[in-house]
Structure 1
Amino acid sequence: MTRWGLTLPLTGVPLAAHRDLVRSLPDLGYSDVWSAETAGTDAFTPLALAAEWAPGLRLGTAIAPIYTRGAGLLAMSAATIAELAPGRFVLGVGTSTPTIVTNWNALPFEAPYARSRDTLRFLRSALRGDKVTETYETFAVSKFRLERPPTPPPQVVLAALRPGMLRLAAREADGAITNWLAPSDVPTVRSALGEGPELVARIFVCPTTDADAARGLGRLLISSYLTVPVYAAFHEWLGRGDALRPMNEAWAAGDRAAANAAITDEVVDELIVHGPPEKCRERVAEYVEQGLTTPVISILPTGDDPSDLVRALGRA
C-alpha cells in the first residue's frame, strides 16, 4: 500500500484535544501517525493515545533518541506501544543531536555510529524476549529480559542522513528515517540504503497561497537546522553545499539575518512544500514517485486551524 503519514501532536493543539481528529485520520486517507521527541511531548505518550483512538493506524517514533534513555528503558517503552498496537508499531531510533543529548540532558554524545549499531543489536534481542547479557563497544547489559515482550516484535528503523548510517540501517534495522530533503534527493538516499528497506521521511508542509510567508518561515527553519554540522554534511553529500555555503558562512559569523537572506527561493522551494493543499499533496506524492516508502507530513503554522489543514492534506 502507499503510505501517507502525519506528525503528531500538532503545534498549538493540546494533546487531549487531538482525539476526534485522530479518529478521523483513516477516513481522510492517512495510514500512519509518527511522533518526535525534542523539547515537547515525549515520543511514546502521543502514540499510546493514538493506539486507543484509531486502532487502524500504524504508529511510529521519529525518533526516540538512543542516548537519553537506558537501553532497557528504551526497550520497555517500545514494548509498551507494541503491545497496544500489535503489528502496527515502528520504533524509530537515532542519535539526536549534542544540543538535546548533552546541553539539555547532561549526557555525553560519543561514538554515534557505534552506539547506533550497538543499540540496534540490543533492541533486536530484547524485543524478541531474549535474556540479554552482552558487552557491546559502547555499553554493557547484564541479564535484562522484558517481562512483557511484544508479539510480534516491532520493526526498528534508524535515523540516517549519509551513506554510513544508511548502510547500517540496511544491515541492522528494517529501514531508515531521514528528513530535510527534496524529491530529487530521494534517489541518492535510496541508492545508499538499497531498494528493499523502508525509507521514511518527514516532509515540512506549509499549505498556504502566501508564498512570501511560507518562504520566510522556511528560511528560519533552514538556517536553524541546516547549519548544524550533521545536516550541513548531509546537504554537501546531496550536492547542495555550494547553494548553502553563504548561509553557513553568515551563520558562523554570528549574523542570523544575513544567513536567512542568503537562502535562495530555489532552496526553500526544494525543501519546504508550500502552496494550496492540492498542490502540496501533489508535491508530497513526488517523494513517493522518487522512491520514498513513507512520507510523513509535518504541518508548519499558517495561522489557520491546524486540524483544518490536516483535513485538507488528507489523501482521501
Structure 2
Amino acid sequence: MSDLPVPAGTVPAARARIGLWGGAPWADPARRDEARAAAREVEALGYSRIWLSGGFDPGVHPVFGLLLGATEEIGVASGIISVYAATPEETGRGSAELEREHPGRFLLGLGNSHAAIVERSGVDYARPYSRTVEHLDALDAAGSVPPARRVLAALGPRMLRLARDRALGAHPYFTTPAHTAWARQVLGEGVLLAPEVAVVLEEDPARAREIARRHTTGYLTLPNYTTNLRRFGYGDEDFADGGSDRLVDELVPWGSTATVVAGIVRHVDAGADEVAVQVLTASGDDFPLAQWGDLAHALIG
C-alpha cells in the first residue's frame, strides 16, 4: 500500500508504518543544528518519515532540504503546502530539485488550507476544490511531480476521491479513528492513508487535556475541521472551550506510553497505512527526543 518499507514492531510492517509529525521548532532558522540532530535521531529510532507543515510562504520551504541532507534514508513530507500560498511552478520546481538531490525521499503534500488563514493574507478563498485540481493539472502538464510523489490533505469525500485518483493518497489532519475508517472506505484499498495523530504522554487527566486543548482550541474555530467532525456525531457543545472531554480524548490520545500506543493502533486498525504521530508537550517548543524514543520502542521495536 505504501511506497516505503516499515520496520517490524508492535505495529507490524505488513499493517502500517509510523512517521513523525513535527511542529514549529523544526522550521526555526535559529534552530537548524537542533533540527538536523533531531532528524538523525528520528531516523535512528526507525521512524519512516518526518512530516512538517509547509508553512505559508511561497514554494517548498528550505527545511525539507535541510532534513533530507542531514539524514540518509528517512522520508520527508510536507504536511501540507497550501495551494493558495504556492504556485504549481513553485511546488513543482522545489519538489523536482529535492527529487534530484534525494531520489525517492520527498513526498509533496498539498492542501487548500482554511479560509480564515488564506484571507488573512489578502487572498480570496474561492473554489478550494477547483484550485487544488488546477494545481494538480499544472503539475501533470509540467511533469514535475508524478502522482506517486504527492499526497493531498483530504477530509471530505470529494477531496478523498481526488487523493485516490490524482495522488498517492491522503494525509488527513485533526481527525478521529472513525474518520480513518470512513476515509479508508472512500479511498478503497491500495491507496495511502496517512492520518496525523497528536498525542500527549501524560497520565494526569487534567494536565493531559490542558496540553491537548492548547492544540485543539484554534483548530476548533476552523469550519473545515468542525464540518468534518459533525459527520461523526460531534456538535457545537463539543467545539466550545477547546473541545469537550469526549472529543479531545478521541482527537488526542493521552496517558501512559501503552495507552497512547493503543490510541495510535486504533487508526491502524481502522485502515491507516501510516500514522504521522505528533507528540504534544507542555512547552510546545521542544524536540521531545525521550518521548519519541519511548514511542518508537513500543511501536517499532
TM-score range, shorter chain: 0.7 to 0.9
Q: Does 1:123 align with 2:116?
A: no
Counting aligned pairs with the same residue, the percent is 27
Q: CA deviation at 1:155?
A: 1.1
> Which amino acid in 2 is paired with 1:119?
H
Q: CA deviation at 1:32?
A: 0.4
Q: CA deviation at 1:39?
A: 6.3
Bigger proportion of residues as strand: 1
Which residue of structure 1 aligns with residue 19 of structure 2? 5
> Which amino acid in 2 is paired with 1:308?
A
1:218/1:153 Cα in 2 relative to 1: closer, same or farther (>3 Å)? closer
Q: Which moved more, 1:11-20 or 1:293-302?
A: 11-20
Q: CA deviation at 1:210?
A: 2.2
Which residue of structure 2 aligns with residue 147 of structure 1? none
Q: CA deviation at 1:290?
A: 1.4
Q: Does 1:58 align with 2:75?
A: yes
Which residue of structure 2 aligns with residue 282 of structure 1? 262
Q: Does 1:260 align with 2:241?
A: yes
Q: CA deviation at 1:297?
A: 1.1
Structure 2 CA distance for aligned equivalents of residues 15 and 98 of structure 1: 31
Q: 2:233 aligns with which of 234, 240, 262?
A: 240
Structure 2 CA distance for aligned equivalents of residues 199 and 115 of structure 1: 22
Structure 2 CA distance for aligned equivalents of residues 204 and 173 of structure 1: 24
Q: CA deviation at 1:109?
A: 1.3
Structure 1's consecutive aligned runs of 4 or more residues displaced over 6 angstroms after TM superposition are: 39-42
**Deviation sequence 1:44-93 (CA, Å, 0-9, x none):** 32221111111210111110011112221121111122223211221110
Q: Is the 1:87–1:154 contact (alpha carbons within 8 Å) kept by the matching residues of 2?
A: no
1:88/1:168 Cα in 2 relative to 1: closer, same or farther (>3 Å)? same
Aligned residues: 279
- In structure 1, the gaps of 5 or more residues are 130-149, 249-258
Secondary structure of the 2:171 match is strand
Which residue of structure 1 aligns with residue 12 of structure 2? none
Which residue of structure 2 aligns with residue 254 of structure 1? none
Secondary structure of the 2:195 match is strand
Structure with more relative contact order (C-alpha pairs < 8 Å, separation 6 or more): 2
Q: CA deviation at 1:302?
A: 2.9
Which residue of structure 2 aligns with residue 208 of structure 1? 202
> Which amino acid in 2 is paired with 1:310?
W
**Deviation sequence 1:108-165 (CA, Å, 0-9, x none):** 2110111111111211232x35xxxxxxxxxxxxxxxxxxxx8x88611111111111
Q: TM-score, normalised by structure 1?
A: 0.80
**Deviation sequence 1:172-208 (CA, Å, 0-9, x none):** 2221110222223311111122222101111111111
Q: CA deviation at 1:37?
A: 3.1
Q: Is the 1:205–1:299 contact (alpha carbons within 8 Å) kept by the matching residues of 2?
A: yes
Secondary structure of the 1:297 match is strand
- In structure 2, the gaps of 5 or more residues are 1-5, 7-15
> Which amino acid in 1 is paired with 2:293?
R
Q: 2:88 aligns with which of 46, 49, 71?
A: 71
